Structure 1
Amino acid sequence: MWIKSGLFPLLLSYLVALVLTVMPMPAVLEPWRPDWVSLVLIYWLIAIPHRVGFATVLVMGLLTDILMGSTFGIYATALVIIAYPALRHFQRIRNYSLTQQALVVAVLVLVKRIIVYELEHLLNDATFNLPYLYPVLSSALIWPWIFLILRRYRRRYLIR
């Protein structure tokens, strides 16, 4: 039942994004880690907005808060805020080329990173370092592959 409805493959993609978010990387590459959770959520928000909405984004944000050890609600707030334009303009974003989509993704990830930083600064007195913004570039660069892989995955498992 879960596989036929596409729920299990969808949940599996969320789990993979969460694992990639905390998976150890070489110290040189760590600052460049793409924002996996945002990338996967943005893909599903524009691909199947009737199945993935604010509740999904909120749960994923809270799970990210737990995994990252941040103040509860920071990532959830940031993800819900960037989910709005993705859901509001999903038809337009779908019709963009992969390069244009990558630029949209870069802006959304940048907004998310700024919101997370501002909330962390406000609540925990975090300091800003330029490498904090490197995931914006790496996420934009990896977006075409993420899009193509998840589209193939969606078609393979009939996620509708």
Structure 2
Amino acid sequence: MNHPQYILQPVNPIFIIFSLIVAFVLNLLPWGFSVGIPDFVALVLVFWSIHQPRKVGIGIAFTMGLLMDVHDAVYLGENALAYTLLSYFAISIHRRVLWFPPLVQSFQVFPLFLGILVIKLGVRLVISSDSHFPGWLYFLECAVTTALWPIATWLLLAPQRRPVDKDETRPI
């Protein structure tokens, strides 16, 4: 109860675009290992779909999914379908999630990240005849992405926080 509630400034649309571009570039990086790499685009999409559902919605998620499909050279629409459903479900739970602190929020967004991995795996298994189950370490990605949720929340809300200095003439 002693933690003050800060009033956030309105988000700058340029910052939203910048954060989505940075997430896309982070997904483009050639990581030295292939297991447990977080999906930065999914993380940022869920964050903005929860915090700004009127500015980042299903259309942006679909576009980012198509860009990731082209980059990953997977079936066109696999990531687009997953990100669209991810954004839809994030928007549908956004009021409930915002009641909790970031650590508890991470437990509530974990099923979203797990769901998109299941959708991607399901599309691959259904469409391709030579696909096989990649193993249980495939699902480590959603755990790592969920672990990054509090850090992403802190980073993406930083430009919106008001200064801590108090003005005695202002009531809030």
Query: Where on the TM-score scale, by shorter chain, does this alignment land: which range?
Result: 0.7 to 0.9
The one-letter code matched in structure 1 to 2:49 is: L
What TM-score do you get using the length of structure 1 for normalisation? 0.86
CA RMSD of aligned residues (A): 1.7
Which residue number corresponds to residue 23 of structure 1? 29
Structure 2: runs of 5 or more not aligned:
1-10, 163-172
**How many angstroms does 1:154 deviate by?**
4.6
Measured in 2, the distance between the counterparts of 1:92 and 1:25 equals 35
Tell me which protein shows more helix as a share of its residues: 1
Aligned partners of 1:78 and 1:115 also within 8 Å:
yes
Measured in 2, the distance between the counterparts of 1:37 and 1:154 equals 21
Which residue number corresponds to residue 117 of structure 1? 121
Alignment of 1:142 onto 2:148: yes
**How many angstroms does 1:105 deviate by?**
2.0
Tell me the number of residue pairs that the alignment of Structure 1 and Structure 2 aligns: 150
Which residue number corresponds to residue 127 of structure 1? 132
Structure 1: runs of 5 or more not aligned:
none
Task: Select which of 52, 56, 77 maps to 2:56.
Answer: 52
Measured in 2, the distance between the counterparts of 1:150 and 1:137 equals 20
**How many angstroms does 1:152 deviate by?**
0.9
Which residue number corresponds to residue 94 of structure 1? 98
Measured in 1, the distance between the counterparts of 2:91 and 2:150 equals 19
Task: Select which of 66, 79, 85 maps to 2:70.
Answer: 66
Alignment of 1:13 onto 2:19: yes
- Could you report, residue by residue, the CA deviation over 1:5-31 in whole angstroms, capped at 9, with x for unpaired residues? 83332222111111111212222xx31
Q: Which has the larger radius of gyration?
A: 2
